[in-house]
Amino acid sequence: MRRRFRLRANALIGGTLIGVLALVGVTASLWTPFDPLRINLRARLRPPSDLYWLGTDEFGRDVVSRLMAGAGTSALVALLTVMSAVVLGVFIGVVAGFVRGWLDRALMAVNDTLLAFPGILLALGLMAVMGPNKWGIILALGLAYAPSVVRVVRATVLSVREREYIEASRVIGNSEIYTMMRHVLPNCTAPIVVLATSMFGWVVLAESALSFLGLGVPPPAPTWGNMLAAARPYLDQAPWLSIAPGLCIALTMLGINLLGDALRDRLDPRMAAA
């Protein structure tokens, strides 16, 4: 009884938080109270008021508007990163698990290398090569997180490939690719969804951490990460500047984690009874 209640509560709170994020992210450009890039030097570092609900930053830009625009960028970066990590990871994982042999060993060697490779340098290098924009960071973080997907997918593929129905599919003359798509991949869905959900949270965090170190999505386009980084000198003087984006990141993470728990409980058969 309690368990079901908690599941519902998790899904509800998490879903609401992420739903609001998605909604704001998609529609932000339509209804921000101010232009998020518009500077106003006469209204620098204003504390929260009727006009500026969460105050203004060091260029007199409205914090609410920037948070809304930042939600879009942060969510987009996270979403695309997770998608690219999943696509890449599934592809490599399935190939490695299904083909096996030397290709598998080579792929896993590269995979383990990437796992041992700090994302910071990957991000910096790729952003420098691709030009400083969100695509660089998406590619970099996508590459950094793909190896975890590869591991999960490969493990799942290895565990199901010898099952009878796979064998049966082969015996009745279905092609390898068809078998893979039709019978093997669906088995990976649950773990991937669970992993992707937590990954979404990691990317939001990673993007803000990279921005904090000066390696993230470059300003003036707002992301929560670079807003936090820019707010640091004013921590004492204008605390709303750091509290607001920090809180946004934390709430998003909370939503993701709750939603992830609910999804895990539903999808991951091992955890179903928990």
Partner 1 sequence: MLRYIIRRLLMTVPTALLVAIAVFVLLRLVPGDPAQLMLGDTATEETLAELRRQLGLDQPIPLQFLYWLGNVLRGDLGRSITNDLPVLPLIVDRFRVSATIVVAAVVLASIIAVPAGMLAAWRQNSPGDLVIVAGATLMLSIPSFWLGLLMLLLFGVKLGWLPVVGYVSFAEDPGRALAYIVLPIATLTLIEIGVVTRMARAATIEVLRLEYITHARAKGVPEGRVLWRHALPNAFAPTWTVIGLILGNLLGGIAVVETVFTLPGLGRLLVDGIFARDYPVVQGCLLFTAIMYVLVNLLVDLLYPVFDPRVTAE
Partner 2 sequence: MRRAALASLALLLGAAMPAVAQSPATLRAAINADIRTNDPGVNRDGNTDAVMMHVLEGLVGLTEDGDVGPLLAERVAVSEDGRSYTFTLREGIRFHNGAELTSADVAWTWRRFLDPATKWRCQSEFGGKGLTRIEAVETPDPRTVVFRIEKPTALFLSVMARPDCGGSGILHRDSVGPDGKWKGPIATGPFRFGEWKRGEFVELERFAGYRPLPGARDGYIGGKRAEVERVRFVVVPDPSAMKAALLSGSLDVVTDVAVDDIAELKRRGDIAIDLAPTMGVNAILMQTRDPVLQDVRVRRAVAHAIDAAELTTAITQGTARPNPSIVPVPSSYHGAAHDRRIAADPALARKLLAEAGYRGQPVKILANKRYGSMYDAAVLAQAMLQQVGMAAEIEVLEWATQLDRYLKGDYQMMSFSYSARLDPALNYEMMSGPKATQPRKIWDNPDALKLLDEAMVVADRKRRGAIFDRLHEMFLADVPMLVLYNGVDIAASGKRVKGYKGWAAGQPRFWGVTLQ
Which residues bind to partner 1, rule: CB under 8 A?
A: 2-3, 6, 109-110, 112-113, 115-122, 124-126, 128-129, 201, 205, 208-209, 212-214, 228, 232, 235-236, 242, 246, 249-254, 256-258, 261, 270-271, 273-274
Q: Which one of partner 2, partner 1, none is in contact with 33 (Cβ closer than 5 to 8 A by kind)?
A: none
Q: From partner 1, partner 2, none, which one binds at residue 91 (CB under 5 to 8 Å depending on kind)?
A: none
**CB nearer to partner 2: pick between 41 and 273:** 41
* Cβ proximity to partner 2, 186 vs 239, nearer residue: 239
Contact yes or no for 229/209 (Cβ under 8 A) = no
**Candidate segments 62-70, 136-144, 188-196, 211-219, binder of partner 2 by CB under 8 A:** 211-219
The beta strands (E) that lie in 159-204 are given as: none
Residues 122-181 that bind partner 2 (CB under 8 A): 124, 128, 131-132
Give SS3 for 62.
Answer: strand
Count of beta carbons in the 10 Å neighbourhood of residue 248: 22
Question: Which residues, including other chains, have CB under 8 Å from residue 115's CB and lie 6 or more apart?
Answer: 147, 148
Structure tokens at 220: 């003036």
Measured from the CB of residue 72, what is the shortest distance to partner 1 in angstroms?
Answer: 19
Contacts of residue 44, defined as CB under 8 A and 6 or more positions apart, other chains included, come to 56, 57, 58, 59, 60
- 126/138 with CB nearer partner 1: 126
With CB under 5 to 8 Å by kind, the binding choice for 113 among partner 2, partner 1, none is partner 1
Backbone angles phi, psi at 79, to 5 degrees: -65, -50
Work out which of 220, 239, 250, 272 binds partner 2, going by CB under 8 A.
Answer: 220
| Torsion sign, CA atoms 24, 52, 57, 240 | negative
The full DSSP string for 12-51 is HHHHHHHHHHHHHHHHHHHH-SS-TT---GGGTTPPS-SS
Nearer to partner 1, 150 or 184 (CB): 150
Min separation Cβ 170 and partner 2, Å? 52
**177 touches, from partner 1, partner 2, none (C-beta below 5 to 8 Å by class):** none
Distance CA 235, CA 268 (A): 42
Q: CB 252 → partner 1: shortest distance, Å?
A: 8
Residue 234 lies near partner 2 (rule: CB under 8 A): yes
Angle formed at CA 178 by CA 175 and CA 179, multiple of 5 degrees: 85
Which span (6-14, 23-31, 38-46, 188-196) binds partner 2, by CB under 8 A?
A: 38-46
